[in-house]
Structure 1
Amino acid sequence: MLQQAFSRYINNFKGFSREIWILTLITFINRAGTMVLPFLSKYLKEDLHFSHSQVGTILVCFGIGSMLGSWLGGKLSDKLGFYKIMIFSLFTSGIAFVLLQYITSFTGLCIGMFSIMVVADMFRPAMFVSLGAYAKPENRTRALTLVRLAINLGFAAGPAMGGLIIISSGYKGLFWVDGATCILAISIFWLLVKEKEKTSEHKAVSVENDNKSVFTDTPFWIFLFICMTTGILFFQLFTTLPLYHKVQFNLNEFQSGLLLMMNGLIIFFTEMAIVSYVERKQIDKVRIVIFGLIFMIISMFLLLINVWAGILIIMMLFMTFGEMFAFPFSNSFAMSRAPKGHEGRYMAIFTMSYSMAHILSAKVGLEISGRWGYQANWLFMGTLGLIALGLSFWLRKLLAEENN
């Protein structure tokens, strides 16, 4: 029985091309080395002694840079090809992360975080387009999920190791590791994966679709607002929640890292099975995203219980399952809406919704927490999720009308 379950689990990982596995490997290396992000708010608050409002402003610059980078990455991927954009983005941002540790002024960090994220987040839409190019159509959602597993396995290892690095040698070591892993990851990609040329058929369809604009796709824009909301709720894990851990329950960086590690490990062992099941049963993607949103809303309301540290584990379980339901199928739905030749543009705007989520999650969350306390923030976030839930049902109605 156990052997049968194991075989079924392994079968979920079959059928991928060599390029998809290499993309997965470099994603893991890159994400395992991404140790600055989970501790950025703590670094700015506790090491550089900025106020809640200043931390929020720096993270807004981070998010605005991310939005501009996502837009540029998508547009340039359609024009120059995803391959060149991926190499430029990861190599340059690797060097920039190493240099960032030497900037400690408020204005300098605002400019530095903005500039780094413009370059770093050009990578995301380019990577999504590369998955579309290297994966078979029937494997696309599973390929997205495989890369997400690498991201989450990297996040499982990264924060725990990051916490240990901070305890042993301070925050400076994180910047060196982050920069080095960016350069290592893209070097492996450049050596092992060759650029894929667009076929003449793809170019012809691309020209034919030039008159179709993403800005007239109403269901897609409603969907983007729902994605942005799931992002706002999820990014609380990296903005307000690490500070809340310390203030409310006196957890150290390593303990906060362990909670994120639990999130990554659960996703690694269960998400691919969930995605495979949903694809086999052909369950509506938007319906699954709605389930994910509901789980995230519950996780926010659970934080209103602030007298027992165990609630952080329960909250993380709900957020983890919410993430597993919401994110892979959001990626897949966004890609499925894009006409051929416009994948970069669609995926750019899709990733920009998460960049906007990062801006709002940081600034709004930290402002509310600083002015009225963390409880007010959890209440606000849960209520925002309920608004997005209402829009989700409207989206399903529009899509049903579109298909009739």
Structure 2
Amino acid sequence: MKQLYANYVNSFKGLVPEIWILSFVTFVNRAGAMVIPFLSIYLVSDKGFTLPQVGMIMTCYGVGSLLGNYIGGILTDKIGFYKTIVLSLFFGGIGFILLQFIGSYIGMCIGVFVLMFAVDVYRPGVFVAADVYGDDKDTTRNIGLIRLAINLGFSIGPVLGGLLIAKVSYNSIFWVDGITCVIASFILLFGLKPKKANKKKEKPIVIKEGVRPLKNNLFLLLFLIMLINSIAFVQYFSTIPLFYKSEYGLTEDIIGWIMFLNGAMIVILEMPLISWLERLKLSKTMATFWGIILLAFSIIILNMSHWFGILIIGMILMTLGEMIGSPFASALALDMAPKGRKGTYMGLFSMSFSFSHIIGHNASMNIIDKYGFETTWNVMFIILIIASFLTIYLFKRLKVSKDYNTY
């Protein structure tokens, strides 16, 4: 036990203070992230929208996220990640507070679009910050620590959200989510000075090396793989909570506790797991492959039994896949990005998640409406298996490529 504890502590050693500050801000931000896991349930049960309408609202969610990631990548290269992150946190918080006052279908589409645009401007800046601070060898661990902060907040957020919904009202989670985002922006503003970051590593980049991401065929293949993976993964933010409620009759507070398992596992296990996999010399591409495989089985087992425990097993498998795949896929994308273009490359990489919101929610809501949950889970399993084969192909291409020293 002492050795396990020592290994856990050692996995955090050597990370610079700036990453810890950024991670703390991210934790405060994500601790209030209680709207997103319950958004689809809220739109159906509280607002009375149909599944196809919810699918279209979630498509607007994805379009806003897509544009936010794109503009976020540009802003990160133009004004720096620090200002980009602060602006995103502040205006995202205001957006969460205002969203609760929208009642019409069209208004909700517009409101969700604007909200997610503001929120996801944040993403490319965080990836670049993970690369800017500390040594290059720490990039994967930097990403891992930021993800740990995200998931520590996310493990608490759904539980608090479920309890607030059960004990107070749905409106309360919009207030808490918005206020925590605004608080996070002020913590970053006063806790991490821009001069400190600029002096450290964030220097003006004049020379841009390599090709643009849209002309990089292998990077586009990685984008496609992550798009397919994310289409299945985002079901945990919309259709799977609906599945828990409609098929198992679970209340929002119980759903929050199931989601808590995801965040708690990542907080406890992800950093030691990353360190262990790095010591095993597992390539970033193959780590991405195993992440996809575990996600695929986490979804298909939902068709195997109506036993409550299968939901827990599915969440565990999904979390293992997320812990293994996501940090290494992000690190792989950063490795493939040439100097001077990391913001735009990571902007495009983050947009794969945004596109998945555009496609995944709408498609799955309509499949469920016409064919049911079982068919939906079969479709998700099939596309993930396709993504796994594409990942093996990418691994082989990177291994023989002269343009990359990473695979």
**CA deviation string 1:48-77 (max 9, x = no partner):** 000000000000001000000000000111
C-alpha distance in 2, partners of 1:200/1:41? 41
Q: Decide whether aligned partners of structure 1 residues 199 and 267 sit closer, same or farther in structure 2, where only a CA change above 3 A counts.
A: closer
**CA deviation string 1:247-301 (max 9, x = no partner):** 1111111111111101111111111111111222322110111011111111111
Q: Show structure 1 runs of 5+ residues with no match.
A: none
Q: Show structure 2 runs of 5+ residues with no match.
A: none
**CA deviation string 1:197-235 (max 9, x = no partner):** 38999646x4242x6211121111111111112212221
C-alpha distance in 1, partners of 2:10/2:218? 34
C-alpha distance in 1, partners of 2:208/2:259? 45
Q: Decide whether aligned partners of structure 1 residues 218 and 67 sit closer, same or farther in structure 2, where only a CA change above 3 A counts.
A: same
Is residue 69–residue 121 contact of structure 2 (8 Å, CA) maintained in 1?
yes
Aligned CA-pair RMSD:
1.6
C-alpha distance in 2, partners of 1:73/1:104? 29
Instruction: Give the match for residue 211 of structure 2.
Output: 212
Instruction: Give the match for residue 32 of structure 1.
Output: 31
Show the 5 A alignment for 1:246-395: 246-395=245-394
Once the two structures are overlaid, the 10-residue window that deviates more, 122-131 or 33-42, is 122-131
C-alpha distance in 2, partners of 1:143/1:131? 5
Is residue 9–residue 273 contact of structure 1 (8 Å, CA) maintained in 2?
yes
Letter paired with 1:22: I
Q: Decide whether aligned partners of structure 1 residues 225 and 200 sit closer, same or farther in structure 2, where only a CA change above 3 A counts.
A: closer
Q: Residue 277 of structure 2 aligns to a residue in which SS?
A: helix
Is residue 203–residue 341 contact of structure 1 (8 Å, CA) maintained in 2?
no
Q: Residue 125 of structure 1 aligns to a residue in which SS?
A: helix
Is residue 155–residue 264 contact of structure 1 (8 Å, CA) maintained in 2?
yes
Show the 5 A alignment for 1:184-263: 184-195=183-194, 196-197=197-198, 203=204, 206-209=206-209, 212-263=211-262
Q: Decide whether aligned partners of structure 1 residues 58 and 200 sit closer, same or farther in structure 2, where only a CA change above 3 A counts.
A: closer
Is residue 202–residue 341 contact of structure 1 (8 Å, CA) maintained in 2?
no
Is residue 65–residue 120 contact of structure 2 (8 Å, CA) maintained in 1?
yes
TM-score, length basis structure 1: 0.96
Instruction: Give the match for residue 89 of structure 2.
Output: 90
Once the two structures are overlaid, the 10-residue window that deviates more, 272-281 or 238-247, is 272-281
Identity across aligned pairs (percent)? Answer: 41
Shift of 1:29: 0.7
Shift of 1:118: 1.2
Q: Decide whether aligned partners of structure 1 residues 257 and 202 sit closer, same or farther in structure 2, where only a CA change above 3 A counts.
A: same
Q: Residue 4 of structure 1 aligns to a residue in which SS?
A: helix
Letter paired with 2:397: L
**CA deviation string 1:285-329 (max 9, x = no partner):** 101110111111111110112421211111111111111111010
TM-score, length basis structure 2: 0.95
Is structure 2 residue 129 aligned with structure 1 residue 130?
yes
C-alpha distance in 1, partners of 2:315/2:60? 27
Shift of 1:401: 2.1
Is residue 202–residue 340 contact of structure 1 (8 Å, CA) maintained in 2?
no
C-alpha distance in 2, partners of 1:240/1:48? 17
C-alpha distance in 2, partners of 1:259/1:340? 41
Instruction: Give the match for residue 65 of structure 1.
Output: 64
Letter paired with 2:377: W
Shift of 1:113: 0.7
